[in-house]
Chain A
Amino acid sequence: DIQMTQSPSSLSASVGDRVTITCRASQSISTFLNWYQQKPGKAPKVLIYGASSLQSGVPSRFSGSGSGTDFTLTISSLQPEDFATYYCQQSYTTPPYTFGQGTKLEIK
């Protein structure tokens, strides 16, 4: 099975900061990489699919990049509503569609 490793596990930042979260796959997954945001007590929400495609309705301050094994999620200018936990997920070929362990983004 493909393992997904996110870093960092937690991150403190301020409103207006530029933030980058990384995700590494244990083998090449082309661009079959998705990013989700989850707020406490809520279901996750997809932000980015296919490594770099922005889901409809998601603010343009979110962006994704990468291919193969290394991927990044960037938030260009943090807003108060962006403080949440972020997960990457690979959807390469057949399941299991494994998730990373999550990155908790907290207010500094």
Chain B
Amino acid sequence: EVHLVESGGGLVQPGGSLRLSCAASGFTFSNYEMNWVRQAPGKGLEWVAYISSSGNTRYYADSVKGRFTISTDNAKNSLYLQMNSLRAEDTAVYYCARIDYSRGWCVDYWGQGTLVTVSS
């Protein structure tokens, strides 16, 4: 069974940094493209970042470009999001999300989410 478990969220001051992790299990992690998607309190879903299965191709939302870095460690079956220069508007639940290329690149599995709060 596929499982995605995020960790690393918490309270951080504006301008600070945080590293989110997502532990994957139940599938061959190195074969899949992965996303981070976030949801601010009471708001809709916002796609944040993408990484290819090889790790060689990455894309970012304009709102986080230059501040966030997505990465993977296939030996640890893990996805990461390094978040620097955090702002109040980055406050959200962050979801790790697996992409299924065989189903039109939809997200077929999501983690439970980890809450990041940026506040002084």
Residues of chain A having any CB pair with chain B under 8 Å = 1, 31-34, 36, 38, 43-46, 49-51, 53, 55, 87, 89, 91, 94-102
Q: How many residues of B are counted as interface, with CB atoms below 8 angstroms from the partner's CB atoms?
A: 23
**CB atoms of A99 and B44 under 8 A apart:** yes
- Chain A's closest residue to B112 (CB) is A43
Given contacts A49-B103, A91-B104, contact A44 B45 (CB under 8 A): yes
Chain B positions near chain A (C-beta within 8 angstroms):
35, 37, 44-47, 50, 59, 61-62, 95, 99-100, 103-108, 110-113
Consensus secondary structure, chain B interface: strand
Contact partner of A50 (CB less than 8 A), chosen from B44, B104, B108, is B104
With both chains docked as a complex, state the minimum distance between the C-beta of B64 and any C-beta of chain A, in angstroms. Answer: 11
Residues of chain A with a CB closer than 8 A to B113's CB: 43
Contact between A87 and B104 (Cβ–Cβ < 8 Å)?
no
Chain A facing B: main interface SS: loop
Instruction: Please give the distance in Å from A69's CB to the nearest CB on chain B.
Output: 16
Is the beta-carbon distance between B50 and A44 smaller than 8 angstroms? Answer: no
Instruction: Report how far A32 CA is from B101 CA in the complex, Å.
Output: 11
24 contacts between A and B (CB under 8 A): A34-B104, A34-B107, A36-B107, A43-B112, A43-B113, A46-B106, A46-B108, A49-B103, A50-B103, A53-B104, A55-B106, A55-B108, A87-B45, A89-B106, A91-B104, A91-B105, A91-B106, A94-B59, A96-B47, A96-B59, A96-B61, A97-B105, A100-B44, A102-B44
